[in-house]
């Protein structure tokens, strides 16, 4: 169960592809952010065409976790407009799965998303629906060593046994470590991120809205900061999230070079910095 270290790419640099997924999902174009070739688990942006319909009941063998970026989808009578989220575990009965308008949906499948008719066996709790605008921001339990980022979060899902956690993070503008230097960070779990807006500046380069990384456990990262603040989706997987800091301090720069860590298959797509739109 592995995916390569991808840190980082911008979704805008990837092509929409058809027939990446199987069965009825082959009709849904997607951008593959990362994929475990062995299990088929993948993080993708799905672009559902207008009027796409899958009549249920049906289920997937893996979890179906998603955040709607644009448009709306409907599953089992629940409408999911943009900025809504769900975690539908393996076996969750999708009574119907449709979109009238079409939709763009950031989607995480924990196994190859083959569709099986009928309901399945569910062994995890579902998060059937969250509308992000109705959730309160919190700064509880944020590592005080990250105070300079002025982090607020919304926890979308947390499994205390496995450590899996999904959250929305909001970080402040014009933020940088004190004295422009800081330790590096590592976690004993996978960290995955999709940047919804703003920028994150790290030692590997500047990420802008649309940036994505999949960082395997125990990989050093940071220091970080931001010019314009940022809003991102973070997932911690395959272990519990712990912040381990290096003793050594590293300089922080607002103008780092572009030094992503990428598998060969993505090097061409992300070989140069992304040109973010400017307000002028």
Determine the residue with CB nearest Fe ion: 191
**Cβ 187 to Fe ion, closest distance in Å?**
6
Q: From CA 13, how far away is CA 240, in angstroms rounded?
A: 31
**Cβ 247 to Fe ion, closest distance in Å?**
17
Contact present, 274 and 201 (Cβ < 8 Å): no
**Cβ 167 to Fe ion, closest distance in Å?**
12
Smaller CB distance to Fe ion: residue 70 or 261? 261
Smaller CB distance to Fe ion: residue 112 or 150? 150
Contact present, 64 and 92 (Cβ < 8 Å): yes
Smaller CB distance to Fe ion: residue 71 or 223? 223
Q: From CA 248, how far away is CA 96, in angstroms rounded?
A: 53
Cβ within 8 Å of residue 28, ≥6 positions away:
21, 46, 47, 48, 49, 52
Tell me the residue length of the chain: 280
Q: What is the dihedral of CA 19, 20, 22, 28, to 10 degrees?
A: -60
**Cβ 111 to Fe ion, closest distance in Å?**
25
Q: Among 139, 135, 140, 168, which residue's Cα sits nearest to residue 152?
A: 139
Residues 204-233 that bind Fe ion (CB under 5 A): none
Q: Does the bond joining 223 to the residue before it have cis omega, within 30 degrees of 0?
A: yes
Structure tokens that stand for 128 in this block: 């059937």
For residue 220, the tally of other CB atoms under 10 A from its CB is 15
Smaller CB distance to Fe ion: residue 109 or 236? 236
Smaller CB distance to Fe ion: residue 64 or 176? 176
Contact present, 275 and 18 (Cβ < 8 Å): no
Contact characters 251-270, Fe ion, x per CB under 5 A: --------------------
The helix (H) or strand (E) run that includes residue 142 is: none
**Cβ 225 to Fe ion, closest distance in Å?**
14
**Cβ 185 to Fe ion, closest distance in Å?**
5
Smaller CB distance to Fe ion: residue 71 or 260? 260
What number of chain residues touch Fe ion (CB under 5 A)? 1
Smaller CB distance to Fe ion: residue 21 or 193? 193
Residues 169-198 that bind Fe ion (CB under 5 A): 191
**Cβ 221 to Fe ion, closest distance in Å?**
6
Structure tokens that stand for 4 in this block: 């390569």
Binding residues for Fe ion, per CB under 5 A?
A: 191
């Amino acid at each position: 169960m592995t995916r390569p270290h991808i840190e980082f790419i911008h979704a805008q640099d990837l092509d929409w592809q058809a027939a990446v997924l199987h069965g009825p999902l082959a009709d849904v174009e997607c951008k593959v952010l990362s994929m475990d070739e062995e299990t088929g688990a993948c993080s993708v942006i799905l672009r559902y065409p207008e009027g796409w319909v899958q009549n249920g009941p049906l289920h997937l063998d893996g979890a179906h976790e998603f955040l709607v970026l644009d448009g709306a989808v409907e599953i089992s009578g629940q409408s999911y407009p943009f900025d809504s989220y769900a975690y539908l575990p393996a076996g969750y009965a999708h009574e119907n799965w449709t979109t009238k308008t079409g939709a763009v949906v950031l989607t995480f499948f924990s196994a190859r998303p083959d569709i099986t008719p009928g309901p399945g066996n569910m062994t995890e709790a579902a998060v059937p629906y969250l509308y992000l605008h109705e959730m309160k921001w919190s700064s509880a339990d944020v590592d005080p060593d990250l105070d300079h980022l002025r982090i607020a979060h919304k926890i979308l899902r947390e499994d205390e046994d496995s450590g899996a956690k999904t959250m929305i993070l909001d970080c402040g503008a014009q933020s940088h470590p004190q004295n422009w230097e800081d330790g590096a960070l590592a976690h004993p779990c996978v960290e995955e991120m999709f940047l919804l807006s703003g920028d994150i500046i790290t030692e590997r380069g500047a990420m802008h809205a649309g940036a994505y990384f999949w960082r395997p456990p125990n990989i050093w990262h940071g220091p970080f900061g931001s010019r314009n603040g940022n809003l991102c989706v973070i997932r911690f997987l395959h272990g519990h999230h712990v912040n381990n800091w290096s003793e050594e301090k590293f300089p922080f720069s607002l103008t780092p070079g572009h030094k992503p860590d990428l598998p060969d298959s993505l090097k061409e797509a992300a070989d140069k910095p992304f040109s973010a739109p400017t307000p002028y």
